[in-house]
């Protein structure tokens, strides 16, 4: 029986563990074509095997890219554009938490680069493919952490006074502002809709990776009250596939239900300012967002 998803193509970043892998699992079971993205070739291979074991017939392939590096994001997008001509959803799920201030080789604070700039840039690069589908979605995984925080414009990457939690919270606020501004720029008649997802508290290993013992200990205790990645993934899958919400004006969703984001996330002036700053950080003229000219 048809389920509306089979043969549709979904790009999922951070699809080697946690919520991203579980979302890929749900879509694989429904015969969707999955392009998973991960930073480690071994973990990509293992995830691909896991998904094939769920559905031997499924079209699953993984691409390796370190999303903290913009050159890698662009290379990844070029490869995706080579492989497919339309895209039904881009799920910007990859995320990281870094206790200490870590700069990427391109000089960005790592959480800012992975959790926020990578979705901004990858969406820009893949927008032509999304526009080529009859309808399409951009789902970016945010967090309840986006509440009760603001953007520190004078030091947006917190490079002068780094605070790991504040840095994480800012990236998640930025993803909601990005989602709202993307919808505004696409316009009400666009076939592409953007949604920000709050996955809830989820029992994953995000806080255990490459962090000092104290951070690992805190997350290891906290995550035990979380839901499973499989449970959380249902809400991400919903935003990627549910036809009835295509024209919804709700931008922030938790477990398949709309929820009010923080007032700061609805600040249009801040969203526009952030957009211009992000475009500058990614070397894109702000007005040509989504117009990819070279495919080298």
Ligand X SMILES: NC(=O)c1ccc[n+]([C@@H]2O[C@H](COP(=O)([O-])OP(=O)(O)OC[C@H]3O[C@@H](n4cnc5c(N)ncnc54)[C@H](OP(=O)(O)O)[C@@H]3O)[C@@H](O)[C@H]2O)c1
Residue 38 touches ligand X, criterion: CB under 6 A: yes
Residue 211 touches ligand X, criterion: CB under 6 A: no
- CB closer to ligand X out of 58 and 91: 91
Q: What is the DSSP string of 103-114?
A: B-TTS-BHHIII
The contacts of residue 218 (CB under 8 Å, 6+ apart) are: 207
> From the CB of 16, what's the least distance to ligand X, in Å?
4
> From the CB of 213, what's the least distance to ligand X, in Å?
18
> From the CB of 226, what's the least distance to ligand X, in Å?
5
* C-alpha to C-alpha distance for 113 and 157, rounded to whole angstroms: 9
Q: Which of 35, 51, 89, 114 binds ligand X (CB under 6 A)?
A: 114
- CB closer to ligand X out of 22 and 133: 22
Q: Which of 24, 176, 196, 206 binds ligand X (CB under 6 A)?
A: 206
* Radius of gyration in angstroms for the set of CA atoms belonging to the chain, rounded to a whole number: 18
- CB closer to ligand X out of 205 and 250: 205
Count of residues binding ligand X (CB under 6 A)? 30
Binding to ligand X (CB under 6 A) within 51-110 occurs at 66-68, 93-96
Residue 164 touches ligand X, criterion: CB under 6 A: no
Binding to ligand X (CB under 6 A) within 122-141 occurs at 141
Residue 23 touches ligand X, criterion: CB under 6 A: no
* C-alpha to C-alpha distance for 76 and 111, rounded to whole angstroms: 19
> From the CB of 232, what's the least distance to ligand X, in Å?
8
**Active-site residue set:** 168
**Region near ligand X per CB under 6 A, out of 49-57, 131-139, 197-205, 248-256:** 197-205
Q: Decide: 210 and 98 in contact? Cβ < 8 Å.
A: yes
The contacts of residue 113 (CB under 8 Å, 6+ apart) are: 67, 68, 69, 70, 104, 106
Q: Which of 11, 12, 19, 292 binds ligand X (CB under 6 A)?
A: 19
From edge to edge, which strands make up the β-sheet containing 33-38?
60-64, 33-38, 9-13, 89-92, 136-141, 192-198, 252-254, 257-258
**Region near ligand X per CB under 6 A, out of 15-23, 156-164, 187-195, 237-245:** 15-23
Provide φ and ψ at 207, rounded to 5°. Answer: -85, 0
* C-alpha to C-alpha distance for 171 and 111, rounded to whole angstroms: 7
Q: How far is CA 237 from CA 61, 91, 269, in A?
A: 18, 9, 31
Q: Which residues partner with 103 through β-bridges?
A: 109
Residue 204 touches ligand X, criterion: CB under 6 A: yes
- CB closer to ligand X out of 181 and 198: 198
Handedness of CA 82, 84, 88, 93 (dihedral sign): negative
Q: Which of 103, 132, 166, 201 binds ligand X (CB under 6 A)?
A: 201
Q: Decide: 232 and 19 in contact? Cβ < 8 Å.
A: yes
Q: Site map for ligand X, 221-260, x if CB under 6 A?
A: -----x--x-------------------------------
What is the contact surface with ligand X in residues (CB under 6 A)? Answer: 14, 16-20, 38-40, 43, 66-68, 93-96, 114-115, 141, 143, 199, 201-202, 204-206, 209, 226, 229
């Amino acid at each position: 029986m048809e389920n509306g998803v089979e043969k549709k193509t979904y790009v999922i970043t951070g699809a080697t563990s946690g919520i991203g892998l579980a979302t890929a699992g749900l879509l694989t079971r429904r015969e969707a074509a999955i392009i998973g993205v991960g930073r480690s070739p071994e973990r990509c291979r293992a995830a691909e095997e896991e998904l094939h074991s769920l559905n031997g017939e499924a079209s699953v392939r993984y691409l390796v890219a370190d999303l903290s590096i913009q050159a890698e994001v662009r290379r990844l997008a070029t490869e995706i554009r080579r492989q497919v001509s339309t895209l039904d959803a881009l799920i910007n799920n990859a995320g990281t938490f870094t206790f200490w201030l870590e700069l990427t080789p391109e000089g960005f604070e790592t959480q800012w680069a992975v959790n926020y700039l990578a979705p901004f840039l990858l969406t820009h690069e893949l927008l032509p493919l999304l526009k080529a589908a009859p309808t399409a979605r951009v789902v970016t995984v945010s967090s309840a952490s986006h509440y009760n925080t603001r953007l520190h414009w004078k030091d947006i990457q917190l490079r002068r006074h780094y605070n790991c939690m504040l840095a994480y919270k800012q990236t998640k606020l930025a993803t909601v502002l990005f989602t709202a501004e993307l919808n505004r720029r696409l316009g009400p008649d666009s076939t592409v809709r953007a949604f920000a997802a709050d996955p809830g508290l989820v029992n994953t290993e995000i806080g255990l990776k490459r962090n000092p013992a104290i951070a690992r200990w805190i997350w290891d205790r906290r995550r035990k009250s979380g839901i499973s990645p499989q449970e959380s993934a249902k809400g991400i899958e919903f935003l990627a596939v549910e036809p009835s919400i295509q024209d919804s004006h709700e931008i922030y969703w938790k477990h398949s239900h709309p929820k009010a984001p923080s007032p700061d996330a609805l600040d249009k002036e801040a969203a526009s300012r952030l957009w211009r700053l992000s475009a500058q950080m990614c070397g894109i003229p702000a007005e040509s967002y989504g117009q990819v000219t070279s495919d080298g």
